[in-house]
Amino acid sequence: MIASTSASVVPDAGGPDATVRRSAGPWRKLLRHKGGLFGLVVVGLFVFLALFGGFVAPYDANANDFMATLSGPTPRHLFGTDELGRDTLSRVISGSGIAVAVAMLSVAIALVAGVVIGVVAGYFGGWVDTLLNRSQDVLFAFPTLLLAIIIVAVLGPGLVNAIIAIAIVYTPRFARIARASALTVKSAEYLDAARLAGVGTPTMLWRHVVPNVLPPVIVLAALSMSTAQLAYASLSFLGLGVSPPQADWGSMLSKARDFITVAPWLVAFPTLALVLLMLAFNVLGDAIRDVLDPRHAGASARPDTAL
């Protein structure tokens, strides 16, 4: 009688409803997390501006009004105007599209490349691990911004090349995390059972190793988006980003240097947008870490994103 009762309980515990509850759990926890909710709202706002900024912006970002050059914030121009009479609010909104695209695309490319390199190196070991690990150590030897500048200098300035450069610079971060996770997973008993069952290596990596590597990698991705965005702003500040007259926050700050004493709003508003988006990515990354690994909740330690 006891056996039949326990048998009837097991299917319910692992049934479709339980699966839905488990899959929905992290999202619910993230939405209940104050920092996670703040990060999602702010990042969502910038994504909205990136997609629909052309409809939201009050003016064309490149439209000149020479009768209102270097005009301070007014009801007509809420963020003021620059030296060519262009509306600063419209240009900040236009630059949000580039900021979001660079952060997400460069980190996504680095994540995929880093996971592939790290999983292959950790799983196979030997000379494969040595070769891939040493190649990543070479990239680690350079400061992040310096290496990005070198790559862009070789490829040429431009948005696409800047994204590629940042992705290359950030790949070793993900490779290191993925390799460490793969080294832990590859000795698990369920992998030995899968090998004995005749599961091929590609299937083994895709179905058993990669899913166990993803949680720490996802956390690192969220945290890396803020520094990736800052890296691009630095490249753009140096003239290695988009070409004029396209607006982005780095180039806006670069041009605003000459007018910082007479038009401080040209520096204040792009900087505020940059800091707000960076803060949102950082807070969201911390919240995702707390949700995926509650042991880190409230801890000060985080994955190393300053390399």
Confidence of residue 293 (pLDDT cuts 50, 70, 90): low
Q: Is residue 19 part of a domain?
A: no
Residue 61, judged by CB atoms within 10 A of its CB (0-12, 13-18, 19+), counts as buried
Angstrom distances, CA of residue 196 to CA of 60, 188, 189, 201: 64, 13, 11, 12
Residue 178 has pLDDT above 70, yes or no: yes
Predicted confidence at residue 67, as pLDDT, reads 85
Name which of 106, 220, 98 is nearest 152 in CA terms: 106
> Which one of 17-26, 41-50, 68-77 scores highest in mean pLDDT?
41-50
Does the pLDDT at position 27 exceed 80?
no
The verdict on residue 67 lying in a domain is no
Q: In this structure, is residue 245 part of a structural domain?
A: yes
Do the beta carbons of residue 177 and residue 217 sit within 8 Å?
Answer: yes
**Domain range holding 196?**
29-56+86-296
Look up the CATH number of the domain holding residue 258: 1.10.3720.10
Q: Is residue 80 part of a domain?
A: no
Q: Residue 87: phi, psi to the nearest 5?
A: -70, 120
Task: Indicate whether 203 belongs to any domain.
Answer: yes
Encoded tokens for 287: 């919240």
Provide the number of structural domains found in the chain. 1
The pLDDT value given to residue 242: 86
Q: Is residue 43 domain-resident?
A: yes
Is residue 246 in some structural domain?
yes
Q: Which residue has the tokens 């390799």?
A: 179
Instruction: Put residue 279 in one of left, alpha, beta given phi > 0 → left and psi -120 to 50 → alpha.
Output: alpha
Q: Model's pTM, two decimal places?
A: 0.81
Residue 231 lies in a domain: yes
